[in-house]
Amino acid sequence: MRYVADDGDNVVFHEFAHQLDFEDYAVDGTPLLESLRYRSWARVMSAEYEALRRASNSGEPTLIDQYGAKNPAEFFAVITELFFERPRELRGKHPALYDELRSFYHQDPATWQPGDGSSIAT
């Protein structure tokens, strides 16, 4: 098995997301959030999840792995993979989704990659 750092597939991130999702003892695609974040999270995640399900049902290609259309828990796991593996693409095609994940993880991985004129703060 060969590891490709930016292919959008990463079992560690995927399973880590499931663990975070389970912190509230429910595997439902909604991890524990700061109290003011739930409304925004639900709005963005519901819209993006339904868009992925529609695309998956119609055979339309998507940036987000269509395995995420299986259920909200898998959706959270595959978008977490994408967030860390292909952040610029996710930010470009799904900016609201990227912003929710950036807020949740307190990270902005799109700025970590060389070539965008930014650097990681030390």
Predicted pLDDT of residue 57: 97
For residue 10, what are its two tokens?
Answer: 């990463």
For residue 73, what are its two tokens?
Answer: 């828990």
- For residue 30, tell me if it sits in a domain: yes
- For residue 41, tell me if it sits in a domain: yes
Domains: count for the chain: 1
Name the pTM for this structure: 0.86
Is the dihedral angle over the CA atoms 37, 39, 40, 45 positive or is it negative? positive
- For residue 120, tell me if it sits in a domain: no
- For residue 102, tell me if it sits in a domain: yes
Mean pLDDT of 30-48: 96
| Structural domain span for residue 47 | 11-110
| Whole-angstrom distance, CA of residue 75 vs CA of residue 64 | 9
- Residue whose C-alpha is closest to residue 17's, from 45, 43, 52: 45
Who has greater pLDDT, 10 or 102? 102
- For residue 117, tell me if it sits in a domain: no
CB atoms within 10 A of CB 99: 14
pLDDT at 115 over 70: no
CATH of the domain at 54: 3.40.390.10
Who has greater pLDDT, 119 or 106? 106
- For residue 28, tell me if it sits in a domain: yes
Q: How confident is the model at residue 10 (pLDDT cuts 50, 70, 90)?
A: confident
